[in-house]
């Protein structure tokens, strides 16, 4: 009888843990059905307010060259 494919791979779990750490998760769980749950806590610090001026992002020259090379059309 052949083995069945894994519902969750080790790489999936590693990615979930890494993402959870970055997001400030308190817990990462994997159940028997392969569902990954990441428990987050409510943030106690406030996000800094902006001064009302939106900043416009401009891609660097190297990124612009790359984007131009990869344009389809």
* pLDDT per residue as tens digits for the range 18-57: 888 888 888 888 888 888 888 887 655 555 555 656 666 7
- Whether residue 72 lies inside any domain: the answer is no
H-state helical runs in 1-73: 10-23, 61-70
- Whether residue 60 lies inside any domain: the answer is no
- Whether residue 15 lies inside any domain: the answer is yes
- Whether residue 4 lies inside any domain: the answer is yes
Q: How many domains does the chain have?
A: 1
- Whether residue 50 lies inside any domain: the answer is no
Domain that holds residue 12: 1-42
> For residue 73, what pLDDT band results from cuts at 50, 70 and 90?
very low
- Whether residue 69 lies inside any domain: the answer is no
- Whether residue 73 lies inside any domain: the answer is no
Whether the CB-CB separation of 38 and 16 falls below 8 Å is answered with yes
Res 10 pLDDT > 70: yes
- Whether residue 11 lies inside any domain: the answer is yes
């Amino acid at each position: 009888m052949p083995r069945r494919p894994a519902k969750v791979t080790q790489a999936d779990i590693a990615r979930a843990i890494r993402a959870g750490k970055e997001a400030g998760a308190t817990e990462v769980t994997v159940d028997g059905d392969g569902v990954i749950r990441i428990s987050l806590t409510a943030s106690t610090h406030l996000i800094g307010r902006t001064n009302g001026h939106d900043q416009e992002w401009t891609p660097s020259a190297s990124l612009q060259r790359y984007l131009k090379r990869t344009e389809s059309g």
